Amino acid sequence: MKILYRKQNKLNGIYLCGYFIFLMLMLPSGIFAQPVPAEVENIPHLVTFGNKADTHWGDDDFCNIFFFVIPQEYRDPVYIRVFDPECIGAIDEINGFFNTKTEFSIYGGEETWSNEDAKTGNPTGNFRSGNLLVSKTFGGEVRYDEKWYSFGPFNPTEGEYVKDFQGYVFKIIVMGIDGDDGNLYNFYLSSSDRENLGIEGANAFTYEYCFRLYNDPNQISHIYPYVDDRVISIRQTNFDWDDDGIIRTVTVARQNQLNAVSGDNFEVASEFKVQPEELNTSFDFQFIKSKNPLVRNNNVVITVKNQYGEALPFNTVPIGGVPKFRYGISVKPIKR
Ligand SMILES: [Ca+2]
Ligand SMILES: [Ca+2]
Ligand SMILES: [Ca+2]
Ligand SMILES: [Ca+2]
């Protein structure tokens, strides 16, 4: 009996392992991760405001939390690079005068991701789980304006090993700890501290996306939550969209589903049932700006949760690729 039990466990292990290798294989080949936001997202910058800012600027909690996954085969040092980490000069959003301080903290080791508080997208509870590897606060240092700052080197094994991802996970927490301006910035997971050299098979994800839209209304930004086979229904929220055009959902079964949109300084939600064809695919939420009136410097916060209220990850490189609507499958939103 004992032997039989072990065999079964091993079989389950092989099955699970195979499943996640399958997921990894579904990543578009030759993808060298990663700029964050990624090219396929077409998002100009992430944004985090100082904690003295009013939320009508578009940041609900003055915090962004991202995870980076390094494939387990990768053994060389990695760097987490930040573009324009300070809050002054170009790119950043001034409120009165620049007085904002932003803290970047990187975590690895056990519980970095696996702690439930790390996966809510909110800076609550034990969201700083794991070991603090390094932390640095940026203010108005002109020398970093439109420049890259490199955190690291990190040995990949300093991350938390997560079997499901077949890799090591690091977490970066960005907090606006003083001031009231908007710090705009980007990340790049690199094998070099001097330049952006991607790591094949790596990925990045977040559970709550706070970002800046383009001012150009012809630019469509995207985010791609992954909907696994436990998901029955999803609830998308957007905060401070400023009535800027439309937000639509495209999936293998939805061609053009419109979502409720928020105005200034409040959140709205759209809820809909997931169809069998949509399980284990990425969804494409598209952010299509209004041409008239033009909304400038629009910052928004997006979450997507399942029927249990668990936040779904937005992968910067969509798992399975960018979803394409397939004719012949169509669905209707739930009537509420
Ligand atoms: Ca200010
Ligand atoms: Ca700047
Ligand atoms: Ca900045
Ligand atoms: Ca806004």
* pLDDT value of residue 22: 44
Same domain, 316 and 240: yes
Same domain, 9 and 130: no
* pLDDT value of residue 19: 45
Same domain, 97 and 178: yes
* pLDDT value of residue 240: 98
* pLDDT value of residue 331: 59
* Backbone φ/ψ region at 61: left (φ over 0), alpha (ψ -120 to 50), beta: alpha
Same domain, 172 and 232: no
Same domain, 254 and 198: no
Q: Which residue segment(s) compose the domain that 1 sits in? A: 1-29
Cα of 92 vs centre of ligand 2, distance in Å, is 5
Q: What is the per-residue pLDDT across 145-193, written as a single tens digit (0 to 9) for each?
A: 999 999 999 999 999 999 999 999 999 999 999 999 999 999 999 999 9
Kindly state the tokens that stand for 249: 């959902």
Containing 285, the helix (H) or strand (E) segment is strand 284-288
Kindly state the tokens that stand for 150: 């490199």
Kindly state the tokens that stand for 161: 């090993």
Are 233 and 210 within 8 A, CB to CB? no
- pTM equals 0.89
Same domain, 153 and 274: no
Query: Residue 301: nearest ligand to its CA?
Result: 4
Same domain, 312 and 173: no
* pLDDT value of residue 39: 93
Cα of 195 vs centre of ligand 2, distance in Å, is 19
| HSE-CB of 191 using CA atoms within 13 angstroms | 13
Amino acid at 267: E
Cα of 136 vs centre of ligand 1, distance in Å, is 20
Cα of 139 vs centre of ligand 3, distance in Å, is 9
Q: Rounded distance, CA 263 to CA 282, Å? A: 27
* pLDDT value of residue 332: 55
Question: Which residues are found with C-beta within 5 Å of the ion, ligand 3?
Answer: 84, 92, 183-185
Same domain, 7 and 67: no
Cα of 15 vs centre of ligand 4, distance in Å, is 44
Same domain, 140 and 174: yes
Same domain, 188 and 276: no
Between the two ends of the chain, the Cα-to-Cα distance in Å is 51
CATH number for position 177 = 2.60.120.380
Considering only CA atoms, which of 214, 176, 237 is closest in space to residue 294?
A: 214
Same domain, 290 and 316: yes
Cα of 124 vs centre of ligand 1, distance in Å, is 25
Domains: count for the chain: 3
State which residues of the chain have pLDDT below 50.
1-30, 336
* pLDDT value of residue 34: 81
